[in-house]
């Protein structure tokens, strides 16, 4: 069974897949594999799968889900402002004197700019479901999740 959906972001989406002019920005789409894993996680099915991996997706694993999303194509997309970001052991406002002394150098490494897609942006995607008994939740969390 194939159904078509409109997807509205409830919060900003950041997935840096383009760098241009010193800004790591998010292209205006939602990946099909991200939607597959997100729906699987939200349905509490096959929780033994690993959701945060740097390796390529496990397509055999995805086949077992019993559903497939298409890529979320943009209908109405707005970008967030460009934010300054930095990385270091203490960059997220958790300054600790012992770490500063240990590092012996500047507080902020890898200063860069980021831009995402604003909440309220709208996408369209199609979902093929093998099992008609699957009831979709009203909200699907696509962000990285730990446990």
Longest pairwise C-alpha distance within the chain? 60
Express each pLDDT in 30-86 by its tens digit: 999 989 988 988 887 655 655 555 567 788 888 888 899 999 999 999 999 988 877
Residue-level pLDDT at 51: 56
Res 53: pLDDT: 57
Domain count, the chain: 2
Together in a domain, 65 and 14: yes
Whose structure tokens read 């479901």?
129
Residues 65, 107 share a domain: no
Whole domain around residue 108: which residue ranges?
85-113
pLDDT of residue 136: 85
Same-domain status, 22 and 44: yes
Indicate if 139 and 107 belong to the same structural domain. Answer: no
Q: Are residues 5 and 70 in the same domain?
A: yes
More reliable by pLDDT, 74 or 131: 74
Give the per-residue pLDDT at 68: 94
């Amino acid at each position: 069974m194939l159904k078509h959906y409109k997807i509205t972001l409830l919060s900003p989406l950041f997935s840096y897949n383009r760098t241009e002019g010193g800004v790591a920005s998010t292209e205006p789409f939602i990946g099909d594999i991200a939607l597959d894993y997100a729906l699987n996680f939200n349905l509490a099915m096959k929780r033994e799968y690993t959701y945060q991996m740097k390796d390529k997706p496990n397509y055999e694993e995805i086949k077992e889900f019993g559903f497939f999303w298409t890529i979320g194509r943009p209908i109405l997309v707005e970008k967030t402002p460009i934010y300054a970001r930095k990385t270091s052991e203490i960059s997220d406002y958790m300054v600790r004197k012992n770490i500063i002394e240990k590092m012996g150098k500047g507080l902020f490494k890898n200063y860069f700019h980021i831009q995402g897609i604003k909440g309220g942006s709208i996408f369209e995607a199609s979902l093929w479901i093998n099992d008609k008994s699957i009831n979709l939740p009203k909200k699907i969390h696509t962000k990285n999740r730990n446990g």
